[in-house]
Amino acid sequence: MKAFIPVEKNEGIDSKLDNRFARAGYFVVYDMESDKILSIEENRFKNGAHGVGIETGNYVIKSGCKLAIGPRLGPKAENILRAGNVEFYIAENCTVKEAIERYRAKS
Amino acid sequence: MFIAVASGKGGTGKTIVSTSLALVAKNCTYIDLDVEEPNGYVLLKPEIEKEIPFNLRVPKIDEQVCTFCGKCADACVYNALSIIPHLKKTLFYPDLCHSCGHCTYVCPVNGAIEEVNREIGKIRSGRSGVVKFIEGRIDVGVISGVPIISWIVNNYIDSNEINIVDSSPGTSCPVVESVKKSDYILLVTEPTPFGLSDLKLTVEIAKDMGKKVGIIVNKDTGIKIIDVYAKEVNVPILLKIPYSIEIQKSYSKGIPLIEAMPEMKVKFVELIDKILCENEKN
């Protein structure tokens, strides 16, 4: 399973989660099976005027993620994640590595 | 001629000014473009002759025909569409749609996207004595009034006649859309720091657009805060309406200013004459 994690800066597995979902600095796509970061991309939507939540939601769907991890979610992003059956797990004040650990520990 | 009445700050008296102007201008058209909450009708009490729905064209996707290729969502620069291929779902966000038709244009599948009407408001028209009355109104919950404003400006304004447009407050898109084709912008303000601050923003916008502009000070208490600024930027103050409990009382009863205070009627006649004269000179 692939996980989508919005982070502040590109610092690999130690990147800190961004407080914002759709307007985060970078998007991490993480592969839960191989335990590897598949991609870290700069968020090119973050300065958009409208519909950034949808753009990011579309990105999550397109990248095939079934899980998203972050502190909170805007209404538009939530709407599309719900429609796309993407699980949302709340984690904050942590790195990508810690977020994955927390997600695994809960189940 | 097209005179737009605008203000940066809300509640400064656009409707009092625009209805008074309409009543003294005679044979003019009063157009209420404060589409989120039009209230000119309260003072003008028009007889409404026609009410027509205002529709936008928006896409409707047939999920039985759609192949979920996602080209429409990619093409939409306003992010009004989401396609979820593995679940064969489509999502449409009407408030983000700008009715550009791009989705329908790029769709490779015949019959997958149909454009349908979405009603976002109403246009009412009628008469208040010799004044022609037009009003745009958007439905509760509709986010942008710009399309209806734009439609009214392009279809209801006869440049051979006097048109008085009551715009919404502020300096955002609806205001720009309401005033951009005007010949003259009247900016209504009040002598308070808030009034001044918002006036500055609107004067800048009007000057950017290359418009002729004049200021009306409402609720004038004698404080010269607006006068100082007007002199600085070389914009004329055309009229001052006194701060008066009587004006407020008559307004809350729906009595137009020039009826409640006949001495103001003279001033509004002078005002409209001055604006019309200046327009003819050019």
With CA atoms as reference, the chain B residue closest to A61 would be B84
Residue identified by tokens 């137009």 is: B256
Chain B residues touching residue A52 (CB < 8 angstroms): 79
Interface test with B, best of A58, A65, A76 (most B CBs within 10 A): A58
User: Is some CB atom of chain A closer than 8 A to the CB atom of B84?
Assistant: yes
Which pLDDT belongs to residue B163? 97
Rounded Cα distance between B203 and B7, Å, is: 9
With CA atoms as reference, the chain B residue closest to A63 would be B84
Go through the domains of chain B in sequence order and give each one's CATH number: 2-54+121-281 (3.40.50.300), 63-111 (3.30.70)
Which pLDDT belongs to residue B1? 94
With CA atoms as reference, the chain B residue closest to A81 would be B84
Beta bridge partners of B242: B220
Hey, are the CB atoms on B91 and A83 less than 8 Å from each other? yes
Chain B residues touching residue A85 (CB < 8 angstroms): 87
| Average pLDDT estimate for A49-63 | 92
**Nearest to A49, CA basis, from B84, B99, B173:** B173
Quickly count helices (H) and strands (E) in chain B.
11, 11
In SS3 terms, B84-145 reads as: EHHHCEEEECHHHCCCCCHHHHHCCCCCCEEEEEEEEEEEEEEEECCEEEEEEEECCCCCCC
CB within 8 Å of B104: residues ≥ 6 apart: B59, B72, B113, B114, B115
CB–CB of B167/B4 below 8 Å? yes
Which pLDDT belongs to residue A106? 85
pLDDT tens sequence across A2-45: 999 999 999 999 999 999 999 999 999 999 999 999 999 999 99
Does residue A107 surpass a pLDDT of 70?
no
- For B105, counting Cβ atoms within 10 Å of its Cβ (0-12 exposed, 13-18 middle, 19+ buried), the class is exposed
What part of B 39-78 touches A (C-beta under 8 Å)? 70, 73, 78
Residue identified by tokens 């008066």 is: B244
Of A52, A54, A85, the CB nearest to B82: A54
Rounded Cα distance between A6 and A14, Å, is: 12
Hey, are the CB atoms on A61 and B91 less than 8 Å from each other? no
Which pLDDT belongs to residue A27? 97
Which pLDDT belongs to residue B280? 82
pLDDT by position in tens, chain B (length 282) = 999 999 999 999 999 999 999 999 978 999 999 999 999 999 999 999 999 999 999 999 999 999 999 999 999 999 999 999 999 999 999 999 999 999 999 999 999 999 999 999 999 999 999 999 999 999 999 989 999 999 999 999 998 999 999 999 999 999 999 999 999 999 999 999 999 999 999 999 999 999 999 999 999 999 999 999 999 999 999 999 999 999 999 999 999 999 999 999 999 999 999 999 988 876
Q: What is the ipTM of this complex?
A: 0.83
**Assigned CATH topology for domain A2-106:** Nucleotidyltransferase; domain 5 (3.30.420)
